[in-house]
A and B are shown apart, each in its own frame.
Chain A
Amino acid sequence: MTFVLGSIILMRAIWNVYKFGEVYLLSRHVNVLSVYAYEKAFASYEHGLAAAITTSIFLMLLGFIILYIRKVLKW
Chain B
Amino acid sequence: MVRRSLFRNLWFYALVALTVLLSAFPFLVMFFSSVKIETQQYIYPPRLLPARLSDWTLKNYRDVLNPSIFPFTRYFGNSFVTSALTSGISVLLATLGSYSFARLRYPGRHFIQRSVVLVYMFGGILLVVPLFQIIVNVGLYDTRVSLVIVYLMQTLPVALYMLGNYFRSVPKEIEEAAIIDGCSRLSVLFRVVLPLSAPAIASVFIYTFMISWNEYLFASVFLISHEKYTLPMGLSSLFYTEHFVWGRMMAASLLTAVPIVIMFLSVQRFIAAGLTGGGVKG
Residue numbers in B under 8 Å from A25 (CB-CB): 216, 236
Interface centre among B125, B128, B130, B220, by most chain A C-beta atoms within 10 angstroms, is B125
Q: What bracket does the count of chain B residues touching chain A fall in?
A: 20 to 34
Contact flag A41-B128 (CB < 8 Å), given A18-B123, A20-B217: yes
Interface SS of chain A: helix, strand, loop or mixed?
A: helix
Q: Roughly how many angstroms separate A26 CA and B121 CA in the complex, as a whole number?
A: 25
B128 adjacent to A58 (CB under 8 Å):
no
As a 0/1 sequence over residues 116 to 160 of chain B, the CB contacts with chain A under 8 angstroms (1 = contact) are 011001111110111011000000000000000000000000000
Q: Roughly how many angstroms separate A49 CA and B114 CA in the complex, as a whole number?
A: 31
B129 adjacent to A65 (CB under 8 Å):
no
Distance in Å from the Cβ of B179 to the closest Cβ of chain A?
A: 31
Q: Roughly how many angstroms separate A17 CA and B132 CA in the complex, as a whole number?
A: 21
- Of B126, B217, B221, which one neighbours A57 at CB under 8 angstroms? B126
B126 adjacent to A58 (CB under 8 Å):
yes
Q: What bracket does the count of chain A residues touching chain B fall in?
A: 20 to 34
- Of B117, B121, B125, B215, which one neighbours A38 at CB under 8 angstroms? B125
Q: Roughly how many angstroms separate A42 CA and B123 CA in the complex, as a whole number?
A: 18
Distance in Å from the Cβ of A54 to the closest Cβ of chain B?
A: 5
A57 adjacent to B129 (CB under 8 Å):
no
Interface centre among B121, B133, B220, B236, by most chain A C-beta atoms within 10 angstroms, is B121
A18 adjacent to B126 (CB under 8 Å):
yes
Smallest Cβ-Cβ distance to A72: which chain B residue? B117
Residue numbers in A under 8 Å from B123 (CB-CB): 14-15, 17-19, 34
Distance in Å from the Cβ of A29 to the closest Cβ of chain B?
A: 15
A37 adjacent to B125 (CB under 8 Å):
yes
B236 adjacent to A54 (CB under 8 Å):
no
Residue numbers in B under 8 Å from A24 (CB-CB): 216
Taking A14-B123, A19-B123, A20-B216 as known contacts, 12 extra A-B pairs with beta carbons closer than 8 A to each other, sorted by chain A number, are: A14-B121, A18-B123, A18-B125, A37-B129, A38-B125, A47-B133, A51-B130, A54-B129, A65-B121, A68-B121, A69-B118, A73-B117
B interface residue numbers (CB < 8 A to A): 114, 117-118, 121-126, 128-130, 132-133, 215-217, 220-221, 232, 236
